[in-house]
Copies of this chain bind each other. A is one copy, B any other.
Amino acid sequence: MHNFEYYNQTKLIFGKGTEQKVGEEMAHYAKRVLLHHSGGYPVKSGLIDTIKQSLEKAGVAWVEFVGVQPNPRLSLVYDGIEYAKKEKVEALLAIGGGSAIDSAKAIALGAVDNGDVWDFYAGTRVPHKALPVATVLTIPAAGSESSISSVLTNEKGPWKNGLNHASIRPVFSILNPELSYTLPPYQTACGIADMLAHIMERYFTPEKDHELTDQLCEGTMRTIIRNARTVFNGGEKDYHARAEIMLSGTIAHNNMLDMGRIGDWASHGIEHELSALYDIAHGAGLAIVFPAWITYNIKKEVADGVQPLRFARFAAKIWGVDGAYYDFIQAAFEGVFRMRNFFKSIGLPVSFADAQLPTDQIEKMAFQAVRRGPLGNYTKLDKTAVESILKDCTV
């Protein structure tokens, strides 16, 4: 276990009706707040009205900046920063999922900075402060509601870059599982793939000396999978299942599960190229890339004469593959097979063909993916390795 610091200041306010607490919580941070959302579900559902009433009741003034899209765009962030500065807001309130929250985080950074906010995402400057960001979560997926992460797409590239910085960890997040009842099945499924991927990136560590966090990761993955089956088996409005999924998605990405661990993150790096180029949902991209990443590593370990123990354990603990009846190699491959089947069963693509993506840009994507150096920590992937993984995703 590595030395680590764990300091998560996000206050989680979880449960039915909790959106009504947004005003009293926000009053601790701001007298004037920018509401940031898509303009879709939050408006249609009446959620925005509830939020505005709660803010007014608590004496918090608001202005609104709408139009967030999936894979949030830098151009909208630029406009948001200008608007936040003009309106002199003291905090951001993101309403939605990872896209709204990540976009709000970028605006929060830019609102207290005079340079180009993209610098922080490009890695050419390091941020040191941001306006407070709070969230009302409606899409359990990205875990951005209590994470230090923000991912932004620069349309000029297209480049999709991620930033991790403590200043953008939300000060509070309101999580009402009921707000996810009407999520379209595809979005629910993409969220599930996203949160599973966040845990797998942490789980596939190059080191062996992690027991507690192994167990915590495994328990959270099992919980997500079991409750996903409930939701997709007629349980769209099953509070229990939606609550388990929402809470799992939050802890999947707020560093609770990887205290002292080094994660991998290569699959995220590869997927970012996919969604930057084709604008597919991040979760769908991960359902395509991650099984291929695992397959690549099993094959590599077999070729190196190493037993794929990590992947056999993953198969046993997460997918119920009984190790007693298989050798480790068979068990590991059986795990990938079951994972792909699970993704398919909830309506996700597991190949370029499923997602109807062209396959003529693989070399370009591989080139882009490693432009800042080799990807991953479990194994280091160079351009050839990324290309080979992407090719394995095609059908």
What is the size category of the interface that chain A forms with chain B?
A: 35 or more
Instruction: Determine the residue in chain B with the shortest Cβ distance to A221.
Output: B215
Are A12 and B1 closer than 8 Å at their CB atoms? no
Of A3-11, A67-75, A118-126, the one touching chain B: A3-11
Fill in one digit per residue for A238-249: 1 if any B CB lies within 8 Å of its CB, else 0: 011001100110
- Residues of A6-65 at the interface with B, using a CB-CB cut-off of 8 Å, are 6-18
Indicate if A309 sits at the interface (CB-CB under 8 A).
no
Whether, in the assembled complex, A226 has its beta carbon less than 8 Å from a beta carbon of chain B, the answer is: yes
Q: Is the CB of B219 within 8 A of A247?
A: no
Q: Are A220 and B215 in contact (CB under 8 A)?
A: yes
The answer to whether residues A14 and B259 also contact, given A1-B243, A240-B209 and a CB cut-off of 8 A, is: yes
A280 within 8 A of B: no
Enumerate chain B residues within 8 angstroms of A216, measured Cβ to Cβ. Answer: 216, 219-220
Cα–Cα distance between A244 and B226 once the two chains are bound (Å): 27
Name the contact of A18 in the complex, choosing from B3, B219, B223, B240 (C-beta under 8 A): B3
| Chain B proximity mask over A248-292: 1 for CB below 8 Å, otherwise 0 | 100100001001100000000000000000000000000000000
Chain B residues near A5 (CB-CB < 8 A): 11-14
**How far is the CB of A390 from the nearest CB of chain B, in Å?**
33
**How many copies of this chain sit in the oligomeric assembly?**
2
Interface pair B259/A256, CB less than 8 Å apart: no
Give the complex CA separation of A18 and B2 in angstroms.
12
Assess whether A218 is interfacial by the CB under 8 Å rule: yes
- For residue A211, CB closer than 8 A to chain B, the reply is yes
User: Do B3 and A7 touch (CB < 8 A)?
Assistant: no
In the bound assembly, the distance between CA atoms of A186 and B220 in angstroms comes to 34
Using CB atoms, name the residue of chain B closest to A1: B243
Quick one: closest B residue to A12, CB to CB?
B6
Whether B260 lies near A212 (C-beta < 8 A) is no
Chain B residues with Cβ below 8 Å from A12 are 4-7, 259
- In Å, the complex CA distance between A6 and B10 comes to 8
Q: A5-B12, A5-B13, A11-B5 are in contact. Are A215 and B222 (CB under 8 A)?
A: yes
Nearest-Cβ distance from residue A231 to partner chain B, whole angstroms: 13
Q: Mark A139-182, 1 if CB is under 8 A from B, else 0.
A: 00000000000000000000000000000000000000000000
Instruction: Name A177's closest neighbour in chain B (CB-CB).
Output: B1
CA A13 to CA B218, docked complex, whole Å: 24
Q: Does A227 contact B (CB under 8 A)?
A: yes
Q: Are A240 and B13 in contact (CB under 8 A)?
A: no
- Most chain B CB inside 10 Å of its own CB: which residue of A1, A7, A214, A240: A1
Residue of B nearest to A260 (CB): B14
Please tell me if the beta carbons of A11 and B15 are within 8 angstroms of each other in the complex: no
A16–B12 Cα distance when bound, in Å, is 31
Q: A1-B243, A4-B14, A12-B259 are in contact. List 4 more A-B contacts (CB 8 A).
A: A1-B14, A211-B226, A219-B219, A243-B260
8 contacts between A and B (CB under 8 A): A1-B15, A1-B244, A4-B12, A9-B9, A209-B240, A212-B248, A247-B259, A256-B256
A-B CB proximity, top 6 nearest: A3-B15, A215-B219, A7-B11, A6-B12, A212-B223, A1-B243
